[in-house]
Amino acid sequence: MLKYLIKLKIFRYFYVLTRFLIFVFIFKKLSTIKETKKSFKATTDRNLKSLLSLRDVYDGSRSDFFLNKLKKIETLDKIKKSKILIIGPRNEGEIYNFYAKGFLMKNITAIDLISYSKKIKAYDANFYLKSCKKKFDFIYLGFVLSYFRDPKKILSLAKKCLKKNGYLIVCIEAPRRIINTRNIEKTTRFYNLKSLNNIFSKKLKHIYSTLYVEKLYFIKPLFIKCYLVIKKRN
């Protein structure tokens, strides 16, 4: 039953949110690890604040644009057999969204600096990719690349963890300025698709890249320009 209901965005949102509230506030399962020097300072604190604000994207819909494109690149049979690494999901939303789109739960590995669920392993991505003995068919970095001091290095490490013909996917917000109580900060260091594409290894085959507009939140929606880049290991 869950397999079918989880495909419904509204059900997935409240299912993930309910699990989050139970695990964090009742069972006290929330744990964090500090970022290494290879990530920007306060990365963990910033993501933890967003997670606990209850305004997070609990339905995992930020991965929708890629997953809709994936249906045109690979067959459902291939997706069902594929192993995927999700870097920085923050909550279970993306995990269940990938599950809803055909990936088997047993084939989904997710790592983050923050965890409250057994479905998310508490790891720093730099450390995990360096020591990882697994090989994946897909490695997905959804809106996390800007947190790394050396994004080119993290993509190089990810490439080594790909199987032959495996895909490396990056989604990231296009440049915009956000105003908080203390200052104005830029959301990314990549000012166009060309600068983003240039940090990938030349040994990876270019499959697809584009600029698209994403809608966030049900109430007071926010429209954000984003980049998607898909590369493939030969």
- Tell me if residue 57 falls in helix, strand or coil: coil
Residue 193, pLDDT > 90, answer: yes
- Percentages of the chain per state (helix, strand, coil), in multiples of 5: 35, 30, 35
Q: Are strands 136-142 and 162-173 parallel, antiparallel or unpaired?
A: parallel
Q: What is the pLDDT of residue 207?
A: 98
Task: Give the domains, in start order, of the chain with CATH numbers.
Answer: 2-233 (3.40.50.150)
In order, the DSSP letters of 128-196 are: HHHH----EEEEEEES-GGGBS-HHHHHHHHHHTEEEEEEEEEEEEPS-EEE-SS-EEES-S--SHHHH
Return the structure tokens found at 131.
């020591």
Which residue would you say has higher pLDDT here, 178 or 138? 138
- Residue 79 pLDDT class (50, 70, 90 cuts): very high
Strands, DSSP E only, in the chain?
31-32, 84-87, 108-112, 114-115, 121-122, 136-142, 162-173, 177-179, 184-186, 204-216, 222-233
Cα 3 to Cα 101: distance, rounded to the nearest angstrom: 10
Q: What is the pLDDT of residue 183?
A: 46
This prediction has a pTM of 0.92
Which residue would you say has higher pLDDT here, 217 or 197? 197
Mean pLDDT across the chain = 90
Q: What is the pLDDT of residue 184?
A: 40
Q: What is the pLDDT of residues 118-175, one digit of tens each?
A: 999 999 999 999 999 999 999 999 999 988 999 999 999 999 999 999 999 999 999 8
Residues 113 and 33 sit within 8 Å (Cβ to Cβ): yes
Q: What is the pLDDT of residues 24-59, one digit of tens each?
A: 999 999 999 987 777 776 678 778 887 877 667 899
- Range name among 30-34, 47-51, 82-86, 110-114 with the lowest pLDDT average: 47-51
Residues 201 and 155 sit within 8 Å (Cβ to Cβ): yes
